[in-house]
Amino acid sequence: MLKLSDHLPPPEDLLDLEPEQIAGGLMGYLNAAADAHEQSRSPRSQPAPKVFHRGNFSRDDGVVEYAGRDWYGEVPIALMEAWTWSQSEGLLVPAPHHDADWMVLSRRGRKVRNAASLRGLRRVDLLLRGSLDPRVAQKVWPSFLAGDYDTAVFQAFREVEIAVRAAGGFGPGTVGRPLMRAAFHNETGPLTDLEAEGGEREALRMLFDGAIGVFKNPGSHREVNYDSAVEAAEAIGLASLLLRVVERRSSQE
């Protein structure tokens, strides 16, 4: 028999978790049930997916065994919270040709086998690859999805440094903040828009100088810990924007 305990912490610990933290284990359990369903089918049978009913699930043998004495208490409620959250995220969708309460795992939901895979899926939502400059997307995507945010942010801003150096015609010895100051110098910078108002030119120089100083240089010299996927995604988005500014300035020269 499938066991929820193979996918979730003990019930007493479960109650300390938020629905989205429980959902990874719940989806692992439902995926295991779907796998067992597929394996039990005759090779000649119609390839129909495993369907789940919310009411039936709450009375499932695996839920009853897992919840134990708390079967009528808070544990089933926590599981239903995770179920509802999974529906809202499109991991569970209405089953075709069934009443509304019958659900199937979506294509997205079939990828969620545990809490780690759910975290990876949610990282995809935070950083939309199609919205990034291709140079950033190619470099940072694997690191970001793996949760290696420090490397992803460093790689993104290294691409900014490489692009500024190439667009400004600088040699390999000019790096970091000195490179940004030279490239966007108010009067002599090759990437400076001399038609822009003086304050705007200074602000653009400070933007590139500060961004490299904050997001790229520290990673060159020491370990930087980005605990938040949101913060890392926002930093990578800034790098992508800066690359587009460099591209626009170099095309106007």
CB neighbour burial string for 133-169, b if at least 16 within 10 angstroms, e if fewer: bebbbebbbebbbeebbebbbbbbbbbbbebbbebbe
pLDDT cut 70: percent of the chain above it: 90
Whole-prediction pTM: 0.59
What digits encode the pLDDT tens for the residues 180-197? 999 999 999 999 998 889
For residue 121, give both structure tokens. 């899926």
Q: Which long-range contacts (CB under 8 A, 24 or more apart) does 166-169 make?
A: 167/191, 167/246, 167/247, 167/249, 167/250
Residue found under tokens 């990874």:
24
Round to whole Å and give the CA distance between 253 and 247: 10
**Reported confidence tier of residue 3, pLDDT bands at 50, 70, 90:** confident
Note the pLDDT of residue 51: 92
Pairing of strands 52-53, 102-105: antiparallel
Alpha-carbon span 50 to 103, nearest angstrom:
9
Which pLDDT tens digit goes with each residue over 210-242? Answer: 999 999 977 555 565 666 778 888 899 999 999
- Check whether 124 has a pLDDT greater than 70: no
**pLDDT tens digits for 161-171?**
999 999 999 99
Q: Which H/E stretch holds residue 92?
A: strand 92-94
Kindly provide the b/e burial profile for residues 44-70, where b requires at least 16 CB atoms within 10 angstroms of the residue's own CB: eeeeeebbbeeeebbebebbeebbeeb
Residue 141 pLDDT class (50, 70, 90 cuts)? confident
C-alpha 74/C-alpha 92 separation (Å) is: 22
* Cβ pair 191, 183 in contact under 8 A: yes
